[in-house]
């Protein structure tokens, strides 16, 4: 039986004063130290005995982690320490990045979102991460501070497997950058849970769409799936079908079928692979149809 | 909504919706729960080593390394505690002795100066097991091929009404043979047969189980715990340890949810056993949620077979029901669930020909025990779907077939007993009216289908025939009343209801009544257990009797002092009044110091303490071969529930839009609390219908946390819930009252299943009716592609 720790195992809490100090400590204690943001995943896993880190390095409060900034010419920067509720309530997020606000609001519960961070959700790299699809489709790039200085990690190549990313020991993600979205972009996140609130996703479908003159259909539609692969699954086929063929009930159905055919989910305690696959089709169709209806207006 | 029969003879505050006494304390955080009690630096922390195997022989246990760890004060194993423990069937040791029977079975216990040390000590205990084949299916477990889990079953001590089958895994067999089922089938114009499977679920109280035990230098034991059953714990733990009940004291502070899981004895005995080895020091054991799932009581699983038939007019002529209850590793408490299901096996219907076999079967699963409904939700979930199918097959409306066949005053019941006056027919009428039965509303969206379903239920308090209650009522210098009782408030409001009844019976304002809590077996009067929805009725009777006794003492004293007939005296609003002489005197001037005799010639009377008890004396035994007897139970609470819901054709998700409940509670002492029970039970029933399941694979639970054991939240509850109170008084209930706590979740899952069928035409073999299960059933039926 799963023998969870009755409370938390012992660990040292490290509060570095600078990013350099944080990166150095994390690099010096590789395998034993972990950057701490909201802690909503870390503490659960430590209690469950899955993670056995000796040090939690609190990177909240370091340079650049504590603000949300919108530049009308460049886009949005979300500091790593910003909580999900701060992100989804931000007026510029609501106005320009509504799909992210939609996804954030479907993570766990309101109470948890007062602690949890969007950057933490990304770095946790769960295949079920609700906000990851939106961040990928919005062209997200992470600003990373490592022992060798700062660099950028685009989300399109960031995820390597469940819980595994391009981050190395010593890396501290300071913020997430989202470029200005294409004009007229609409988006939606559909999450299927077992009950109405606070569940992990059985599957999740993130869709964005916007007018694009370079596409034969006049529109570009993109789709990412959660919980059906080891990493968030971008279904390129959807974009291909709906940019080359006139968008209509048939082409949307074909795109949804392509999404279903692309994914290879597993059976687990939350759902069977069979159900997941069909739900990918049904919810992809639903999300694409809803976005198309809104775009067409 | 309340439809209360106005009766002038009901004295206030009975029938008034008083707020619960402890509301403020609980809302402000001032209420003290067991884990809040401070024990200082001497406190030791206990942790338990659990069996990692569903079924294994224990070849050896080496605790020497653990015992040598600095900070460890005691390490105990089954060798230290040879006694048996159990409520109806003593089939359990405190710690395993020769055999482990489920994943989580306690192998050894450690007490240490810190939780961390205790956890580390567990890893130093070496246990050698011989792994055996587990039994994970009760139907297989009942077969001769299955390995025996309790080879000594026939030697266990057992209550007279429980019938273990020697040489099998069947720890109770309850049989009904009424009329002649075989010849009845040919008279039936419609017959249906179904098999259902109800999974294990759990109570999941917010507050996990906790026990703190301390043994003093003379061997006297004190146990503080989150408990529904302080007196049963006193009795059973004392028996297991071979000590006097008087040397075992149980103190029961506020409980953060019970639902049956904190009845009887479970982990409390572990804390006590460990504490006996470290005399003088308190030992605390607090379960993690994972341990709660694995090692606390679970609801038994059930594989049920129903066959039922009716004539062309819809009269049900026969039922043949077989229940294989998965009782888990120990069935000391669960055996009586299976008995209750046997003597209630027709559901609330009058059926002339009945054959029932209700089998309690050992499996290598967690320990099955009491849970809200005590077998009735599991049984009704299948039975009430079957009734719907029978109605459809016979071409009769599902409500009509229930109206026609439901038990009524004087009906001959499954055990041959006669039904007492019951409001079940009214409950059916009320729910049908409220849900607008027969009118189909359009679905809210093109991809949704709407349906309505109904189900009815009955349930008797399941307990020994002579489960007793007692109470005392004393008065203070200012005339306030202190009510001593031994039942526990689990949030159902029993303290409030008893205060209301004491006030009404004595004749004092409600505000003048206090309840002597926390319940403490050293000072509180005896109460069997807080289970079976029996407190309002049984403990209520004891409290009323105690209040009446105090009242009698006061009036006799005043009668003598005033030289008046007691019949002319009354206590109203805390004041003794004479209707003849119109004299009056407040209770406060009487109840402690008595009254002066005339002319300074001394005093009469003295402190007033009323005592009261209640114990049913009329429940008879039943024939072991036929299940027939004069009176099987004390009474049945009956009721009906209806729902309206929508099924999403894209996902299979169900949204319950409306829930209507109507129950005959005899008399609502506190209507708001009765309605709260109906709403709470509906939501718990909904949760069990749509979400809850302990997913067991080869004896291992796959979802032992709230991440994957989903329960309904407020967002899943219907936005419209209507609770209708029907009152057909019980002859021996206080002002006619009978229980409602458990009944409100009995019919819910079946009503939801019937509504799903009405909406999309699919039936599943059992709950939870998850979106996935519904969608795949629709897919297989060609309803969706």
Q: What is the pLDDT of residues A133-143, one digit of tens each?
A: 999 999 999 99
Among residues B562, B744, B550, B727, the alpha carbon closest in space to that of B641 is found at B744
> Who has greater pLDDT, A116 or A5?
A116
Share of chain A above pLDDT 70, in %: 100
Q: Does residue B401 sit in helix, strand or coil?
A: helix
B93: β partners:
B84
Judged by a CB distance cut-off of 8 A, whether residue B772 touches chain A is yes
pLDDT confidence tier of residue B4, bands split at 50, 70 and 90? very low
Judging contacts by C-beta atoms under 8 Å, the chain A residues touching residue B769 are: none
Assembly ipTM: 0.96
Judged by a CB distance cut-off of 8 A, whether residue B710 touches chain A is yes
B373: Cα separation from own chain's centroid: 6
Domains of chain A as residue ranges with CATH: 12-58 (3.30.43.10), 68-179 (3.30.465.10), 186-296 (3.30.390.50)
Share of chain A above pLDDT 90, in %: 95
Is the predicted pLDDT of residue B65 greater than 90, yes or no?
Answer: yes
B482: β partners:
B474, B514
DSSP annotation of B335: H
**C-alpha to C-alpha distance for B420 and B423, rounded to whole angstroms:** 10
CATH of B467-614 among 3.40.50.80, 3.90.550.10, 3.10.105.10, 3.30.365.10: 3.30.365.10
Q: Which residues of B are catalytic?
A: 742
Class of domain B34-132+209-286: alpha beta
Is the predicted pLDDT of residue A148 greater than 80, yes or no?
Answer: yes
Domain boundaries, chain B: 34-132+209-286, 298-463+621-780, 467-614
Q: Give the mean pLDDT of chain B.
A: 97
> Which tens digits make up the pLDDT trace of B670-710?
999 999 999 999 999 999 999 999 999 999 999 999 999 99
Cβ–Cβ of A269/B116 closer than 8 Å?
Answer: no
Cβ–Cβ of A4/B289 closer than 8 Å?
Answer: yes
Among residues B434, B619, B467, B618, the alpha carbon closest in space to that of B542 is found at B467
Average pLDDT over residues B211-228: 97
**C-alpha to C-alpha distance for B92 and B230, rounded to whole angstroms:** 19
Write a three-state SS string for B446-488: CCEEEEEEEEEEEECCCCCCCCCEEEEEEECCCCCEEEEECCC
Distance to chain A for B652, nearest Cα, Å: 10
Is the predicted pLDDT of residue B535 greater than 80, yes or no?
Answer: yes
Other C-beta atoms closer than 10 Å to the C-beta of B606 total 13
> Which tens digits make up the pLDDT trace of B260-314?
999 999 999 999 999 999 999 999 999 999 999 999 999 999 999 999 999 999 9
Q: Within the 634-693 window of chain B, which residues sit less than 8 Å (CB to CB) from chain A? A: 650-651, 690-691
pLDDT confidence tier of residue A297, bands split at 50, 70 and 90? low
pLDDT confidence tier of residue B2, bands split at 50, 70 and 90? very low
A205: Cα separation from own chain's centroid: 12
Q: Across the interface, which of A6, A278, A283 has its CB nearest the CB of B115? A: A6
Q: Are strands B56-62 and B126-131 parallel, antiparallel or unpaired?
A: antiparallel
Other C-beta atoms closer than 10 Å to the C-beta of B442 total 7
Among residues A169, A104, A96, the alpha carbon closest in space to that of A139 is found at A96
Query: CA of A202: which chain B residue's CA is closest?
Result: B772
Judging contacts by C-beta atoms under 8 Å, the chain B residues touching residue A3 are: 50, 290
Give residue for tokens 């200012």: B478
Average pLDDT over residues B383-394: 98
Judging contacts by C-beta atoms under 8 Å, the chain B residues touching residue A279 are: 651, 775
Say yes or no: do domains B298-463+621-780 and B467-614 share a fold. yes
Q: Across the interface, which of B50, B115, B691 has its CB nearest the CB of A194? A: B691
Average pLDDT over residues B105-112: 98
Cα–Cα distances (Å) from B98 to A81, A112, B56, B495, B558, in that order, read 54, 46, 9, 43, 66
pLDDT of residue B9: 80
Judged by a CB distance cut-off of 8 A, whether residue A52 touches chain B is no
Half-sphere exposure at residue B54, Cβ-oriented, CA atoms within 13 angstroms: 18
How many beta-carbon pairs under 8 angstroms link A with B? Answer: 72
Other C-beta atoms closer than 10 Å to the C-beta of B325 total 32
> Which tens digits make up the pLDDT trace of B451-497?
999 999 999 999 999 999 999 999 999 999 999 999 999 999 999 99
Q: For B298-463+621-780, CATH number? A: 3.30.365.10
């Amino acid at each position: 039986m799963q023998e969870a720790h009755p409370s938390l195992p012992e660990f040292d809490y490290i509060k570095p004063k600078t990013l350099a100090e944080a990166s150095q400590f994390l690099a010096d204690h590789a395998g034993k130290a972990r950057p701490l943001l909201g802690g909503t995943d870390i503490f659960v896993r430590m209690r469950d005995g899955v993670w056995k880190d000796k040090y939690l390095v609190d990177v909240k409060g370091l340079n650049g982690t504590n603000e949300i900034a919108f530049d009308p010419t460049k886009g949005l920067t979300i500091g790593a320490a910003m909580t999900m509720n701060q992100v989804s309530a931000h007026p510029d997020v609501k106005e320009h990045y509504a799909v992210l606000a939609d996804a954030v609001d479907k993570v766990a519960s309101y109470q948890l979102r007062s602690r949890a961070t969007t950057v933490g959700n990304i770095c946790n790299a769960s295949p079920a991460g609700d906000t990851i699809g939106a961040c990928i489709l919005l062209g997200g790039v992470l600003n990373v501070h490592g022992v060798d200085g700062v660099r950028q990690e685009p989300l399109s190549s960031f995820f390597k497997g469940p819980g595994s990313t391009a981050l190395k020991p010593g890396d501290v993600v300071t913020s997430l950058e989202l470029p200005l979205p294409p004009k007229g972009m609409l988006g939606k996140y559909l999450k299927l849970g077992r009950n109405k609130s606070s569940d992990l996703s059985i599957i999740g479908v993130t869709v964005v769409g916007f007018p694009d003159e370079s596409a034969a259909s006049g529109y570009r539609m993109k789709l990412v799936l959660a919980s059906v692969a080891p990493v968030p699954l971008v279904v390129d086929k959807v974009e291909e079908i709906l940019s080359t063929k006139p968008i209509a009930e048939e082409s949307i159905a074909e795109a949804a079928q392509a999404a279903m055919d692309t994914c290879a989910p597993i059976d687990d305690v939350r759902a069977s692979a069979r159900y997941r696959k069909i739900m990918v089709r049904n919810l992809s169709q639903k999300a694409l149809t809803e976005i198309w209806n809104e775009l067409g207006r | 909504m309340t439809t209360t029969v106005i009766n002038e003879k009901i004295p206030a505050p009975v029938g008034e919706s008083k707020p619960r006494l402890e509301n403020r304390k609980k809302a402000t955080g001032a209420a003290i729960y067991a884990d809040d009690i401070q024990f200082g630096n001497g406190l030791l922390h206990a942790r338990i080593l659990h069996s990692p195997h569903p079924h294994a022989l224990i070849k050896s246990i080496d605790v020497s390394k653990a015992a040598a760890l600095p900070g460890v004060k005691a390490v105990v194993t089954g060798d230290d505690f040879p006694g048996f423990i159990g409520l109806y069937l003593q089939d359990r040791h405190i710690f395993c002795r020769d055999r482990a029977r489920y994943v989580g079975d306690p192998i050894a216990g450690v007490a240490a100066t810190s939780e961390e040390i205790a956890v580390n000590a567990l890893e130093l205990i070496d246990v050698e097991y011989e792994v055996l084949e587990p039994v994970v299916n009760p139907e297989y477990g009942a077969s001769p091929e299955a390995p025996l889990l309790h080879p000594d079953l026939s030697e266990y001590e057992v209550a007279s009404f429980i019938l273990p089958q020697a040489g099998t895994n069947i720890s109770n067999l309850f049989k009904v043979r009424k009329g002649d089922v075989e010849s009845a089938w040919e008279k039936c114009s419609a017959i249906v047969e179904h098999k259902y499977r109800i999974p294990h679920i759990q109570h999941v109280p917010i507050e996990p189980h906790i026990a703190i035990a301390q043994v003093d230098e003379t061997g006297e034991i004190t146990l503080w715990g989150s408990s529904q059953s302080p007196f049963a714990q006193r009795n059973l733990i004392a028996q297991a340890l071979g000590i006097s009940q008087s040397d075992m004291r149980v103190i029961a502070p506020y409980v953060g949810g019970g639902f049956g899981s904190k009845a009887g004895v479970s982990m409390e005995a572990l804390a006590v056993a460990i504490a006996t080895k470290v005399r003088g020091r308190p030992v605390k054991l607090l379960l993690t949620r994972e341990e709660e799932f694995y090692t606390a009581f679970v609801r038994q699983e059930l594989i049920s077979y129903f066959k039922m038939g009716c004539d062309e007019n819809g009269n049900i002529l026969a039922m043949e029901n077989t229940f294989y209850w998965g009782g888990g590793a120990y069935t000391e408490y669960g055996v009586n669930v299976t008995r209750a299901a046997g003597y209630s096996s027709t559901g609330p219907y009058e059926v002339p020909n009945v054959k029932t076999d209700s089998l309690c079967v050992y499996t290598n699963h967690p320990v099955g025990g009491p849970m809200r409904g005590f077998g009735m939700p599991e049984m009704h979930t299948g039975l009430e779907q079957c009734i719907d199918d029978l109605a459809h097959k016979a071409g009769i409306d599902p409500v009509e077939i229930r109206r026609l066949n439901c038990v009524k005053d004087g009906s001959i019941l499954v055990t041959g007993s006669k039904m007492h006056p019951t409001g079940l027919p009214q409950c059916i009428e009320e729910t049908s009216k409220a849900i607008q039965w027969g009118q189909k509303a359009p679905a809210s969206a093109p991809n949704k289908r709407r349906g309505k379903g109904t189900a009815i239920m009955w349930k008797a308090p399941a307990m020994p025939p002579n489960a007793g209650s007692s109470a005392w009522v004393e008065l203070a210098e200012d005339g306030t009343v202190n009510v001593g009782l031994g039942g526990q408030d689990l949030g159902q409001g029993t303290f409030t209801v008893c205060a209301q009844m004491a006030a009404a019976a004595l004749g004092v304002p409600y505000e003048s009544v206090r309840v002597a809590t926390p319940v403490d077996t050293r000072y509180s009067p005896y109460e069997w257990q807080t289970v079976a929805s029996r407190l309002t009725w049984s403990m209520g009777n004891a409290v009323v009797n105690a209040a009446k006794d105090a009242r009698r003492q006061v009036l006799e004293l005043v009668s003598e002092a005033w030289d008046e007939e007691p019949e002319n005296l009354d206590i109203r609003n805390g004041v003794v009044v004479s209707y003849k002489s119109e004299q009056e005197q407040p209770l406060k001037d009487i109840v402690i110091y008595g009254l002066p005799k005339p002319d300074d010639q001394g005093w009469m009377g003295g402190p007033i303490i009323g005592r009261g008890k209640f114990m049913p004396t009329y429940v008879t035994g039943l024939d072991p071969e036929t299940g027939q007897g004069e009176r099987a139970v004390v009474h049945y609470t009956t009721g009906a529930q209806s729902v309206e819901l929508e099924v999403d054709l894209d996902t299979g998700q169900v949204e319950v839009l409306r829930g209507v409940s109507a129950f005959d509670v005899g008399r609502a002492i506190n209507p708001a609390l009765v309605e709260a029970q109906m709403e709470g039970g509906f939501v718990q029933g909904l949760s069990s219908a749509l979400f809850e399941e302990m997913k067991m694979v080869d004896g291992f639970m796959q979802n032992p946390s709230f991440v994957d054991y989903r329960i309904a939240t407020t967002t899943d509850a219907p936005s419209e819930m209507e609770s209708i109170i029907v009152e057909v008084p019980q002859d021996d209930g206080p002002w006619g009252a009978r229980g409602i706590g458990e009944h409100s979740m009995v019919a819910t899952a079946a009503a939801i299943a019937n509504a799903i069928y009405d909406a999309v035409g699919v039936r599943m073999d059992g709950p939870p009716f998850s979106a996935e299960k519904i969608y795949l059933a629709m897919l297989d039926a060609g309803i969706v592609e």
